[in-house]
Amino acid sequence: MSKGPGVEKMFDAIAGRYDLMNKVMTMGQDQRWRRFVVAKAGDPGAGQVLDLATGTGDIAALMHRSYPRAQVTGGDFSRNMLEEAKKRFAGQGIDWQVCDANKLPFADNTFEAVTFGYLLRNVDDASSVLAEVYRVLKPGGRCVCLDTTPPAKNIIYPFVQFYFRYGIPLLGRMIAADEAAYAYLSGSTMEFHSAEVLADLFRGAGFVDVHYKKFMLGTIGIHWGVK
């Protein structure tokens, strides 16, 4: 069964509290990771950039602030998330579009950079989404991906596992009144590709110069590559 309809419904439901939950869950580190994503995307000049799974718009808005000449599009398939983004960043000239990462409504070789946060763990086939991203990037364009990654099974693994299994769903119930949604999100982290495997998927989609860096006790990975 496709994840799409259920994931869309879940993000629509939690849109109003999503930003607060992100800050609490990540202990305020989420903005640091977004700055890293935007830096790795690089300055597109007056070219076009796309932030997929834009959610409530943080990466798209940071891209706009960092590179004011760029034409920034924020895309998401959750209409409620996009409505929050439009309210938060009204009047900034960002083009907000409802779109599905599995079948992007853009021509080949359109964007200087494509970024996304927490997209690939929520799709059925990460490889096909990466192929779509590759298609819409210009040659030489950069793809930058922020996502969770399963923690290494080392001495702190039991504590990290406990936080994901019990702590995040509890925070979801207290802050967003939706324990089930955050139980899904924490579970999808533990079951997602390792950072090494995801880097291989980037290479399999055609990207070169693929690298990644881990954050937050190895539970967050930022990958980047070039078309």
| Residue 181 included in any domain | no
What would the two tokens of residue 179 be? 């324990």
Which residues share a beta bridge with 211?
224
- Work out the burial of residue 189: count CB atoms within 10 Å of its CB; fewer than 13 is exposed, 13-18 middle, 19 or more buried: buried
What number of other Cβ atoms are within 10 A of residue 199's Cβ? 20
| Residue 56 included in any domain | yes
DSSP state of 149: -
pLDDT at residue 121, as a whole number: 84
pLDDT at residue 151, as a whole number: 73
d(CA 130, CA 122): 13
| Residue 182 included in any domain | no
d(CA 83, CA 174): 23
Q: 219: closest CA among 2, 1, 27?
A: 27
Instruction: Tell me which residue range forms the domain holding 66.
Output: 28-150+193-226
pLDDT at residue 218, as a whole number: 81
Phi, psi of 201 (to 5 degrees): -65, -35
If phi > 0 it is left, if psi is from -120 to 50 it is alpha, else beta; for residue 217 that is left
Residue type, 213: K
Q: Are 49 and 112 in contact (CB under 8 A)?
A: yes
17 CA to centre of own chain: 17
The parts of the chain modelled with pLDDT lower than 50 are 1-2, 4, 6-8, 14-16, 179, 181-184
| Residue 121 included in any domain | yes
Which residues share a beta bridge with 225?
143
| Residue 166 included in any domain | no
d(CA 22, CA 88): 15
pLDDT at residue 148, as a whole number: 84
What pTM value is reported for the model? 0.81
Return the CATH number at 59.
Answer: 3.40.50.150
pLDDT at residue 6, as a whole number: 44
Distance set, CA 74 to CA 78, 172, 197 (Å): 12, 25, 27
| Residue 117 included in any domain | yes
Q: Are 10 and 181 in contact (CB under 8 A)?
A: yes
- Number of domains observed in the structure of the chain: 1
| Residue 70 included in any domain | yes
